[in-house]
Amino acid sequence: MLPSCTLCKKRKKRCDFNLPSCKHCKSMGTQCEYFDEGLGNNVPREYLKSLNDNIILLRSEIDKYKKKINKRTNNEENGEELAKSTSNNTSDLYDMTKNGTFLEGSDNELHYFGPCSIPSMVYMSSMMIKLNLNKLNQFNILEFRSLPNLKIQFDYSLITSEHTKILISNYLTEIYPNFPLLSENFFHFDLMVKNYPEWKQLFIFLILLISASHLMRKKSDFTIIKLMLQQKVNQLMKSKISNEDGDELLCLILYSIYQLLDPEMGKTVWKTISLACDIAEKLKLKDINNNYYSLNGKVAKNVSKKQILKCLAILDSEVSLLLGRPPQLNLEKNQILNIENDDILVNELLIVYDKTEFFNVLYSNSSNCGVLTLFQSLKYHSNKYVKIWLLSSPLLSHKCSDCNLYYDSAVINILSSSLKYIEDYNNQSKNSGVILYWIELSHITISLINLILISKFYSSSYQGIVSDKTIDNHLVIGRNILSKLCSHWYYANTIKAYIDLLIDKSFRSQKLSSIKWSCQLDLSENNASDNDSCSYFPISSN
């Protein structure tokens, strides 16, 4: 329900909740606005009216889209397999996948999913395999609702000094090497946490929250601690973070890391990262060579500006691209190359830049063939770019006369990328375990969809280059990884159920139906006679 406007509250009058203005504000000719607790600011009702009008238009477009989808589904129920379809049909499916889709969340808010997101890939693969799903939005990965919203009163005594030592040690060992966002001196506490000022408590609790979210998968006794810390952090963020300074930026980045570790917590991580990117632009974070330690804030002033930029750029690119959107933090190549005395940072930011450029080249509004566009550039055809080709997964639904010369190579590149992701996550899970949980779940899911589609429709493209045994083994391992991830996130089991359905439909009468998915395979043992999957990446179309 819409809150009373600020004027009616002030004058203690009954507000009529009309849009774009209540009758009192309208009669006085003043702007009607209300206080939004989530934003911490006043919001004009006129703005809400414009949003509501846009939603009505979008829903109208979605209804038209659904009618087209239903019509196409009915027409294809008794048709031939995609491999034998006309080029017009495949072009239509690719265009629909490329354009993305809007799905409505439980909060009635519309979310956009672009070409290489899980919902778009679910739609594309279901059409190719002819699953004819009636409600594709049941696989919406923004719905984190499997745990009840428990309220636990924060109690310092429940977090003992031993708990704190374990959490700090785990953070420094498992999280800090990937995201070195705070100076090491910050982790040496001279006082009890409750004796520090609240601004420092917030960052200490953020560290403990991230670590507890990582540890609770191994040690269930940290689950209650995590719930307490989450509520305490949310409380402190509302009261202590509002200045759009370096501390708020740092706080949002740390909180987004927590969100990626703990999808059950009920918020969308892209909103947090989007807020962080907005603040980064205002603080001119990308202007890295000027004022090296110039971010203001009691904590941020002691943190390397370069490290903050690196962490935010990586998080922004990973989350945005997996939602099928270009990253919000727009880094220019010359800007990166001009960074002085830090070759490691330059290389890491160039990877982010290359991914963004690859996405923009492939999914620009150009009507040119995507395969042809990529292969006209010699840049992306080396082992350095093997994993970047996962972003081109929708190309598996595309084929036209322009790309005949290059299409097999594009399929092999997508296959190599999918094999590489599964292999890397298999090795990672044996060592440090999962860090960016939501991102890894998305990578594994898309990789599995690719392996299924390529094995079913494009086996002639990889014959003599990649063995069927290698693909079978990676399917098993990828599915096992997915099962393990879903054991920590109940709602994600809808994704696993879809993958199982896709496998069953694709290989019901083939040899893969006999594979026991519960078996645990190790790549080093099962692929002893095969080449390493990285070597499959073709240098050119020849």
Q: Which helix (H) or strand (E) holds 34?
A: strand 33-36
Lowest mean pLDDT among 265-269, 296-300, 463-467, 470-474: 265-269
Q: What type of residue is 302?
A: N
Structure tokens at 389: 């080709």
pLDDT at residue 509 in the model: 46
Local confidence band at 433 (pLDDT 50, 70, 90 cut-offs): low
What's the pLDDT score for residue 80? Answer: 39
**Bridge-partner residues for 446, per DSSP?**
none
pLDDT at 43: 79
| Alpha carbon distances (Å) from 60 to 4, 18, 102, 110, 236 | 30, 23, 11, 12, 41
First to last CA, the chain: 62
pLDDT higher than 60, residue 386: yes
Token output for 437: 């949980």
User: DSSP class of residue 3?
Assistant: P
Higher pLDDT, 4 or 523: 4
- For the segment(s) 1-70, the CATH number from 3.30.1360.70, 3.40.50.800, 4.10.240.10, 3.40.50.9100 is 4.10.240.10
Segments of the chain assigned to CATH 4.10.240.10: 1-70
The pLDDT score that the predictor gives to residue 533 is: 43
User: Once rounded to an integer, what is the mean pLDDT over residues 196-206?
Assistant: 84
DSSP string, 444-486: HHHHHHHHHHHHHH-HHHHTTTS-HHHHHHHHHHHHHHHHHHH
User: How much is the pLDDT for 267?
Assistant: 59
Q: Between residues 349 and 64, which one has the greater pLDDT?
A: 349
Percent of the chain with pLDDT over 90: 14
**Two structure tokens written together for 177:** 């090497």
Token pair for residue 447? 């990789």
pLDDT of residue 342: 80
Neighbours of 56 (CB within 10 A): 9
More confident residue, 365 or 466: 466
What is the average per-residue pLDDT within 32-38?
79
Max avg pLDDT among 131-140, 292-301, 324-333: 324-333
Give the residue, 154 or 500, on which the prediction is more confident: 500
pLDDT mean across residues, the chain: 77
- Res. 404 pLDDT band, cuts 50 70 90: confident
**17-21, 203-207, 253-257, 456-460, range with the lowest pLDDT:** 17-21
Q: Mean pLDDT lowest for which of 219-228, 283-292, 516-525?
A: 516-525
Mean local confidence (pLDDT), 72-81:
47
Token pair listed for 77: 């129920």
Closest CA to 54 of 114, 120, 102, 96: 102
Please state the rounded mean pLDDT for residues 74-79.
Answer: 47
Measure the CA–CA gap between 99 and 449, rounded to whole angstroms: 19
* pLDDT, position 510: 53
537 pLDDT higher than 70: no
Average pLDDT over residues 347-353: 90
How is residue 502 written in tokens?
């896709």
**Average pLDDT in the 515-519 region?**
44
Yes or no: say if 277 and 329 are a contact pair by the CB < 8 Å rule: yes
Task: State residue 530's pLDDT score.
Answer: 42
Residue 387 pLDDT greater than 80, yes or no: yes
